[in-house]
A and B are shown apart, each in its own frame.
Chain A
Amino acid sequence: MKKEEKQTIFFNNKPYIIGYYSIVGPKEGKGTLGEYFSEVSDDDFFGQKTYEKAERTMLEKALKGAVDNAGVSYDDIKLFLSGDLLNQIISSSYAARTINIPYVGVFGACSTMAESLALGSCLVDGGHFETVACATSSHFSTAERQFRFPLELGNQRPPTAQWTVTGSGADIISSKGKGPRIISATFGKVVDFGISDVNNMGAAMAPAACDTLLTLFKDTKTKPEDYDLILSGDLGKLGSEILIDLMEYHGVKLGLNYKDCGQIIFKRNQNVLMGGSGCGCSATVLNSIIMKKLISGEYKKVIFMATGALLSTLSCQQGDTVPGIAHAIVIEGDNNE
């Protein structure tokens, strides 16, 4: 029987992550994690004519890479779960057009990697599918164009702004095989603390991250010290500091094992202000250094919590505040039996 505790689902069969892949653009390749990514492109057009086409090419490559990494073929993948930041999630849907696999588009803004992994794990654990693929992508130039200003406009970025990561990550989850295992998933609520500055996503998402993390600790009856790593998605420098403050306010102290993907992906001198953001940020960090360390056994238990800001350009122009969301999964390292 499946134990369900409020927002957290515990997986009896603990699905395996049998394959993973990350692909990034040139700027990310020059960042701190450059050597860990599966593939670094030196062309942010990825050989395409437009950035939108580039983003979906990147996603296709990530999926192909993950399938190869898992040592399976496309025929073995029974479902493809994917989402991205562009209107009507075109990167995912157009990437799915090129493969002959049933597709479910998901949207959780920058939380999509955790969202798709959590959903994928549920489907695999429930025995409905043997093997599914989960993926997401983001591209600096497509996001910038959709949410902000033209690339060549000579404006200054506010100090709280973040830099959308050009990158895509994909995972293959299966009930059979070998690899790190997903042991639980915590689905987050939409939380809005009234931040209306669209250039301050970290502050808008931190309350949602806090809510999900507190729920996770409560539902799983664990403490931050029980994990080798607590990884948030793209809160950035300001957002993760706020999260630490909020957690402390609720009596939970996050220690040195807490890290934020947005903060670690770029180097300090890369002029990215508060750090990285976007679906690709958490997806590529997870599917590079984190997966490698989970497989090598350096990490035994990791919380992967991706955060998303659920706004649109329309909602913010109409003066609405920015709602946040955070989904979390707990991954167990390879050598944990």
Chain B
Amino acid sequence: MDEIERNKRYNSYVEAKIAKTHAWPSLFNAFWVGGLICTLGQVFNDLILYIFPNVSTQSAWAYTLIILIFLASFLTGIGVFDKIGAFAGAGTIVPITGFSNSITSPAIEFKNEGIIFGMCAKMFIIAGPVIVSGTVASMIVGLIYLIF
């Protein structure tokens, strides 16, 4: 048996051997935690508009985002967010909280290597690709909008 054939057979054997994860419990947790975060966001948004009637809707959105980013970042700092994330998966990653966590966690992790080459340089190792693909996607959308 040649090597490629052997490796192929071994890989499919291993694939079959791995215990399958159950999608439904993961999905359930992701949805309710994600939903809760979004509801929380809406609550903040409504509260801001209620307390400060002069604030425009646009600014209220921005303030809401800032609050959520701060909360996620704070929970990361005190070592709680990773536990919520491990439980809820995409539920915490998809809202802006995941983005906040992805910046804060490497910043904490690499501060021992110095401010510049440690913290500042490594801060975007997780979020970097997200920013790049976001920018590229918006460029493509912008081009399509321009043409049609």
Contacts and interface: CB of A to CB of B under 8 A. Distances in A.
Interface of A: 49-50, 52, 145, 149-157, 159-160, 192-195, 200, 203, 207, 238, 241-242, 245, 321
* Among A157, A194, A200, A321: residue with most chain B CB under 10 A: A194
B64 interface: no
B108 interface: yes
Contact of A152 (B8, B93, B108): B108
Top 10 A-B residue pairs of the complex, sorted by shortest distance between their CB atoms: A154-B85, A194-B7, A150-B109, A152-B105, A150-B105, A153-B105, A193-B10, A203-B14, A50-B112, A150-B106
B126 A238 contact: no
B104 interface: yes
B79 A152 contact: yes
Q: Is the interface of B mostly helix, strand, loop or mixed?
A: helix
A154 B18 contact: no
A200 B101 contact: no
A154 B14 contact: no
Interface of B: 4, 6-8, 10-11, 13-14, 17-19, 21, 26, 76-77, 79, 81-86, 89, 92-93, 98, 101-102, 104-106, 108-110, 112, 126
A159 B126 contact: no
Contact of A154 (B21, B98, B106, B109): B98
Given A151-B108, A193-B11, 7 more contacts: A152-B108, A154-B81, A156-B26, A193-B6, A242-B14, A242-B17, A245-B13
A150 B113 CA distance: 14
B104 A152 contact: yes
B6 to A, nearest CB: 7
B11 A156 contact: no
A91 B110 CA distance: 18
Contacts of B101: 152-154
A6 to B, nearest CB: 21
B10 A207 contact: yes
A159 B21 contact: yes
A154 B8 CA distance: 34
A49 B18 CA distance: 39
B17 A238 contact: yes
A195 B10 CA distance: 8
Nearest to B88: A154
